[in-house]
Amino acid sequence: MTKVQLHYPLVRALDESDFDAVAKATSYYGIVRVKVAPSLDSVDVDYDASRLEEKDVEAALRKFGIPISRQ
């Protein structure tokens, strides 16, 4: 396992309805952890780089409705 961490600024601050999406994102194969910044304006994502590429992580986060901004 090659663990990599990515930082994503968000288009908007997360609200209560977004936290379910954040929790579900860890169910995606290869995503290990999604940590929300205390300011609610960014997320850090730990993932297994032997299973996913950065573009796959971005696509998964968008699929779950997390409003990430492009890096």
Instruction: Check which CATH number belongs to the domain holding 27 and give it.
Output: 3.30.70.100
Contact 22, 14 (CB under 8 A): yes
The whole-number pLDDT of residue 71 equals 61
Classify residue 57: in a domain, yes or no.
yes
| Residue 22 within any structural domain of the chain | yes
Q: Which domain holds residue 21?
A: 3-63
Split into its structural domains, the chain has a count of 1
Q: Considering the domain boundaries, does residue 32 fall inside one?
A: yes
Looking at the domain assignment, is residue 69 inside a domain? no
In a domain, 30, yes or no: yes
Distances (CA, A) of 46 to 16, 21, 43: 22, 16, 10
- Summarize the confidence of residues 12-28 as an average pLDDT: 92
pTM of the predicted structure, to 2 decimals: 0.90
Cβ atoms 54, 20 nearer than 8 A: no
The pLDDT of 8-25, averaged and rounded, is: 93
For the chain, how long is the longest CA-to-CA vector? 32
